[in-house]
Amino acid sequence: MERSRRNFLKISGICLLGLGVKPVVHALAKNEQPQILPGPDAMTAKRWAMVVDTKKCVDDCRDCIDACHQTHNVPDFGNPKDEIKWIWHEYYGHAFPGQEHEYEAEEIERKPFMVLCNHCDNPPCVRVCPVQATWKRSDGIVMMDYHRCIGCRCCMAACPYGSRSFNWRDPRPYIKETNPEYPTRTKGVAEKCTFCVERLAVGLMPACVEACKHGALVFGALDEPDSPIREILRSNFTLRRKPELGTRPQVYYIV
Amino acid sequence: MLEKALTGSKKYWSWITLLLILIGIGFGCYLYQLSRGLTITGMGRDISWGLYIAQFTFLVGVAASAVMVVLPYYLHNYKAFGKITVLGEFLAVSAVTMCLLFVLADLGNIKRMFFLLLYPTPNSIMFWDMIVLNIYLLLNIVIAWNTLAAERKGVPPPAWLKPLIYLSIPWAVSIHTVTAFLYAGLPGRHLWLTAILAVRFLGSAFAAGPALLVILCLIVRRISKFDPGKEAIQNLGRIVTYALLISIFFVALEFFTAYYSKVPGHIHGLQYLFFGLEGHAKLVPWMRVATVLAIIAAILLVNPNTRKNETILGFACAATFISLWIEKGIGLVLAGFVPNPLEKIVEYTPTAPELLITLGIWATGFLILTVLYKIAVSVKEEVAA
């Protein structure tokens, strides 16, 4: 081949491209997900799920919300545009859109419905994430890796429950009291409820469940036929949000 | 050949300077966004994709439309398009570059962008979109550059180029199909959850892209010695006509399904866009303008007497381009988030920095387009002389 500056540059370019391919090969060769390792007292299950008993839920009570948001360093920006929330109130018509009708019992209309991530069996957010920053664990919990998320917000478009939040700005100055037990996030990443994996790993119930004095939130293993959650599901009529979408949500509502 | 872009008239340099100023302003705003976060945009938890992703979606269509000149020339040996294939391909290069820049501008965590390569995820449409867009960019650069270089030397293009050219034809279809899949596969976003979204995208793309190309051909003829040819321009006009009518038809299909079935989810998005939903009607004036422009363009394009007049054709193409830009580059993406999954209505207004970043990226695209067209036109002038 003719030795010219042009050819030299061409070959250098190709070599550089080759170097760029190396990490891709690496990534394909090994692919392990980060994990929260269970401690000796860890609670384990093949399928975690939650029941929200709206009959027991008390108007204007914020215990579960405050407990969750304090535990997980959820900031409060004071504006709805940037808002981050893991668990919150909705009215019936918003939690179950399309189900409401004009002649609804006043009690149903007024009741707070706690909504959170449904930890779907078939989660669309996991399907769309281009970097596997969100994935479903073997116990059914849909997890988030804040260090992996590139902030494309595909998951927010994909979630049919509006359960995902995004750090539109640096959250740290807006956290009232930082809990050193749980990481704070940086701007530009998505987040949501994780069924408190970090608490389950040390044998504690999710913060919201623990905080609820009225027993309106029940958390447990779906795979154990004798578990309290199975007993509740057996003896009550329960609803799930938007089951027609095929996401198979794992938060059940007693209305 | 790059040196051709370094000599030009005073007007050329003023245009370049103007674009560079816009890019500079846009970049400044981007640095501001980088330090403060995406909070400086109008996006929020309910409208989580805004102007950036909407522009990206529209421009993928413009990029894909290069196939409308490449296919007739290379597959059907339609000679009149031979002179302008390179213009189509260079338009694709600039459009794809803008697409990629819009995606980057939208990322919350730009420093992690290579995670897309580091953790390849085949079940994610975003992953595939990144791949097809980058390869399409590469294909068009290689094809256009080598054909132009061969033309300059007065030799036929190298034989190894042919398979790449054939590959670029289905590839153009793929980029817009994959982009449509970003939306059309999401449960619970009813406006997007429609099987005809990909063909709707292609329909509007094959109208908007060639419409822009007609305008560019008319400009090139006015400011240079290179004439793309009356026949080529007229036939581009015909393509725009058919594609515009097809895309109007597709929108009508969406209306039928929604309003005849009366399924609320299907109606909401269209109602929000065209009539307003529960008093929220920010996009209604835009969509009305888009509708009127589409109707005017369709009438002017269908009538052979008006289409054959190049001034009127240019006007009709501008109307087509603006109309479809509103439909896809504003309406479709934003209205997909209305109402939100909890059936609440939140509206979106882009902020000034967001608009300036958007303008800066458009200016970058036009800078690339100008430089590439300058090179192409200079080569063509040189060959003709």
* pLDDT confidence bin for B102, thresholds 50/70/90: very high
Mean pLDDT of B196-206: 95
Residues on chain A touching B336 (C-beta within 8 angstroms): 157
Instruction: Please tell me the predicted confidence (pLDDT) of residue A13.
Output: 82
Mean pLDDT of A146-161: 96
Q: Using CA atoms, how far apart are residues B342 and B359, in angstroms rounded to an integer? A: 33
Of A197, A119, A195, A123, the C-alpha closest to A154 is: A123
Digit-coded pLDDT (tens) for B159-187:
999 999 999 999 999 999 999 999 999 99
Interface test with B, best of A10, A76, A79, A168 (most B CBs within 10 A): A168
Mean pLDDT of B100-110: 95
Is B45 close to A165, i.e. CB distance below 8 A? yes
DSSP codes of every residue in A23-70: HHHHHHH----------TT----SSEEEEEETTTPPTT--HHHHHHHH
Nearest-neighbour CA in chain B from A41: distance (Å) = 33
Number of C-beta neighbours around residue A44 at 10 A: 12
C-alpha distances out from residue A115 to A52, A92, A126, Å: 9, 10, 19
Q: What is the CATH number of the domain that holds B64?
A: 1.20.1630.10
Q: Using CA atoms, how far apart are residues B230 and B74, in angstroms rounded to an integer? A: 20
> Among A97-106, A134-143, B325-334, where is mean pLDDT lowest?
A97-106
> Looking at the complex, does the CB of residue A189 fall below 8 Å from at least one CB of chain B?
yes
Is B187 close to A93, i.e. CB distance below 8 A? no
Nearest-neighbour CA in chain B from A226: distance (Å) = 34
Q: Using CA atoms, how far apart are residues B56 and B385, in angstroms rounded to an integer? A: 39
Residue with tokens 């594609």: B243
C-alpha distances out from residue B350 to A32, A103, B35, B359, Å: 40, 39, 18, 12
Confidence check: pLDDT of B383 > 90: no
> Looking at the complex, does the CB of residue A208 fall below 8 Å from at least one CB of chain B?
no
Residues on chain B touching A161 (C-beta within 8 angstroms): 188, 341-342
C-alpha distances out from residue B351 to A84, B51, B70, B330, B357, Å: 21, 10, 39, 14, 10
* pLDDT confidence bin for A184, thresholds 50/70/90: very high
Mean pLDDT of A170-174: 95
Evaluate whether B329 touches B209 at the Cβ level (below 8 Å): no
Evaluate whether B294 touches B241 at the Cβ level (below 8 Å): no
> Looking at the complex, does the CB of residue A198 fall below 8 Å from at least one CB of chain B?
no
Instruction: State percent of chain B over pLDDT 70.
Output: 100
Instruction: Please tell me the predicted confidence (pLDDT) of residue A5.
Output: 83
Instruction: Please tell me the predicted confidence (pLDDT) of residue A36.
Output: 64
Residues on chain B touching A170 (C-beta within 8 angstroms): 37
Confidence check: pLDDT of A160 > 70: yes
Instruction: Please tell me the predicted confidence (pLDDT) of residue A31.
Output: 57
Nearest-neighbour CA in chain B from A106: distance (Å) = 20
Evaluate whether B42 touches B349 at the Cβ level (below 8 Å): yes
Of A128, A188, A247, the CB nearest to B125: A128
Residues on chain B touching A31 (C-beta within 8 angstroms): 119
Instruction: Please tell me the predicted confidence (pLDDT) of residue B187.
Output: 93
Confidence check: pLDDT of B14 > 90: yes
Task: Sort residue B382 into left (φ over 0), alpha (ψ -120 to 50) or beta.
Answer: alpha
Digit-coded pLDDT (tens) for A23-52:
666 666 665 666 667 778 888 889 999 999
Evaluate whether B237 touches B317 at the Cβ level (below 8 Å): yes
* pLDDT confidence bin for A16, thresholds 50/70/90: confident
Interface test with A, best of B3, B121, B332 (most A CBs within 10 A): B121
Q: Which two tokens stand for residue B121?
A: 């995820």
Residue span of the structural domain in which B232 resides:
2-384
Q: Work out how many domains chain B is built from and give that number.
A: 1
Q: Domains in chain A and their CATH numbers?
A: 47-254 (3.30.70.20)
Residues on chain B touching A93 (C-beta within 8 angstroms): 343
Residues on chain B touching A94 (C-beta within 8 angstroms): 342-344
Pick the residue from chain A with its C-alpha nearest to B117.
Answer: A24
* pLDDT confidence bin for A11, thresholds 50/70/90: confident
Mean pLDDT of B259-287: 94
Pick the residue from chain B with its C-alpha nearest to A122.
Answer: B187
* Count of H-run helices and E-run strands, chain A: 9, 10
Digit-coded pLDDT (tens) for A186-223:
999 999 999 999 999 999 999 999 999 999 999 999 99
Average pLDDT of chain B, as a whole number = 94
Digit-coded pLDDT (tens) for B351-372:
999 999 999 999 999 999 999 9
Average pLDDT of chain A, as a whole number = 91
Interface test with B, best of A77, A81, A146 (most B CBs within 10 A): A81
Confidence check: pLDDT of B384 > 90: no
Instruction: State percent of chain A over pLDDT 90.
Output: 75
Mean pLDDT of B274-289: 95
Instruction: Please tell me the predicted confidence (pLDDT) of residue A9.
Output: 84
Q: Using CA atoms, how far apart are residues B356 and B51, in angstroms rounded to an integer? A: 11
Residues on chain B touching A156 (C-beta within 8 angstroms): 45, 48
ipTM above 0.85, yes or no: yes
Digit-coded pLDDT (tens) for B132-162:
999 999 999 999 999 999 999 999 999 999 9
> Among A35-49, B188-202, B226-240, B246-260, where is mean pLDDT lowest?
A35-49
Digit-coded pLDDT (tens) for A50-95:
999 999 999 889 999 999 999 999 999 999 999 999 999 999 999 9
> Looking at the complex, does the CB of residue A169 fall below 8 Å from at least one CB of chain B?
yes
The strand pairing partners of A134, in sequence order, are: A144
> Looking at the complex, does the CB of residue A128 fall below 8 Å from at least one CB of chain B?
yes
Mean pLDDT of A110-122: 94
Query: How many A×B Cβ pairs under 8 Å?
Result: 156
Interface test with B, best of A113, A146, A154 (most B CBs within 10 A): A154
Instruction: Please tell me the predicted confidence (pLDDT) of residue A21.
Output: 72
CA contacts within 13 A on the Cβ side of B309: 8
Nearest-neighbour CA in chain A from B182: distance (Å) = 8
* pLDDT confidence bin for B190, thresholds 50/70/90: very high
Pick the residue from chain B with its C-alpha nearest to A23.
Answer: B118
Instruction: Please tell me the predicted confidence (pLDDT) of residue A28.
Output: 63
Is B126 close to A242, i.e. CB distance below 8 A? no
Confidence check: pLDDT of A235 > 60: yes
Instruction: Please tell me the predicted confidence (pLDDT) of residue A200.
Output: 93
